[in-house]
Amino acid sequence: MEKYISVKDLEEAAIALLPQNARDYYKSGATEEFTLKENKVAFQRLRIRPKCLVGVLNYNLRTKVLGQDVSMPVGIAPTAMQRMAHPEGELANARAAEAMGTIYTLSTIATSSIEEVAAAAPKVTKWFQLYIYNDREVTRNLVLRAEKAGFKAIVLTVDTPLFGIRRADIRNKFTLPEHLRLANFDGYLSTKIHSTSEGSGLNEYVNSLFDKSLTWGDIQWLKSITKLPIVVKGILRSDDAVKAIEAGGSAILVSNHGARQLDGVPPTIEVLPEIVEAVKNYNVEVYFDGGVTTGTDVFKAIALGAKMVFVGRPALWGLAVSGQAGVMKMLNIFRTELEYTLQIAGTPSIKDITKDMVRHESEYYKLVSKI
């Protein structure tokens, strides 16, 4: 594992290892993939403004998220069907998060069940990502099982009335490999994804089973069946952030679904500040995902108001390369890069990372033009 010194190294190795069906599914974005590129490029337009001579002998990456202690503000985002990347799939990912003292988020459409993940990593802080199905009893059962298994939050994805157009999946006629199933379900719901008439089998699955009629009022229904906090994932507008909290959400996860839903939406780092500003009087936490590949990306997101940063594809790359060890390597890369960034930027702890630590490049252009 010593040869992998960046998340990019892990990504390149994983891309070379994965079969085409899985590789294209994991790495692709919607249509022209403009937003997929912008998710990363937007970070490059932010400049860190380091403070000097502040004394950094004692630096600390620890923070609290929904009252839970975590070792660093980097957790694992929900990604589907992880056994396509490695035979242990979600179990290896959860064990890595447990070993590193951070949060693991399990997808509804996982290839390991709620109960399997709970047994594999009993001490990890586990969140469950939820899609709401047309059959509300299916949804209710998922939520109750997650609560019983010790999960600490429900991450409700709100940006998917249907899945976006991912051209690679259409070309590949993507389906889950026959030896795998959607493990949170039995019977038809666990294997329907294997069949496709044309195009993406996953899109056909979602279009026929996910509830397109959802409104903000359905968060109240969700609150009526669980005592767990609800993290609302997929917010890109300040007014939606307010609606989510007023409807009963406990936290906001700013996300454009890895740029996999609608091409042309803004990169998430660009909308993060307006979301943070919109909910500042509601005493809620704001989280972030999208395009994060370095410790400096994490630093910039925190400076702009994120309490926690989640990574999806990087976890898949580590998983594909070497299972649990690969995911731990990925998390350790983020930890090391963030440790260096904190010390060199003159911010010894996470709480010292404030908004004035970053500035958009355009502000420097304005200053230069005045000279």
Domains and CATH numbers, the chain: 7-369 (3.20.20.70)
Q: Which long-range contacts (CB under 8 A, 24 or more apart) does 112-119 make?
A: 112/82, 112/83, 112/183, 113/183, 113/184, 114/142, 114/145, 114/146, 114/149, 114/151, 114/184, 115/145, 115/149, 116/90, 116/91, 116/183, 117/90, 117/91, 117/149, 118/149, 118/150, 118/151
Q: What is the pLDDT of residue 186?
A: 83
The pLDDT, as a whole number, for residue 368 is: 60
pLDDT < 70: residue spans in the chain: 188, 192, 194-201, 203, 206, 208, 367-371
CA quadruple 214, 175, 91, 100: dihedral, nearest 10 = -70
Token pair 């500035």 is found at 359
| pLDDT for res 202 | 72
- The residues carrying an active-site annotation are 257
DSSP state of 349: B
- Evaluate whether 295 touches 346 at the Cβ level (below 8 Å): no
Tokens 């509830």, located at residue: 211
pLDDT for 364 equals 81
Distance of CA 7 to the CA centre of its chain: 15
Cβ–Cβ < 8 Å for 60, 297: no
Look at residue 107 in the predicted model and tell me its pLDDT: 97
How does pLDDT run across 29-38, given as a tens digit for each residue? 999 999 999 9
Confidence at residue 68, expressed as pLDDT on a 0 to 100 scale: 95
Q: What pLDDT sits at residue 334?
A: 98
Kindly compute the dihedral angle of the four CA atoms of residues 150, 155, 156, 162, in this order, to the nearest 10 degrees: -110
Task: For residue range 308-361, list pLDDT tens digits in order.
Answer: 999 999 999 999 999 999 999 999 999 999 999 999 999 999 999 999 999 999
Q: What gap in Å lies between CA 76 and CA 309, rounded to an integer?
A: 8
- Tokens coding 311: 């990574």
Task: State the alpha helices, DSSP H only, in 185-237.
Answer: 188-191, 201-209, 217-225
Number of C-beta neighbours around residue 148 at 10 A: 11
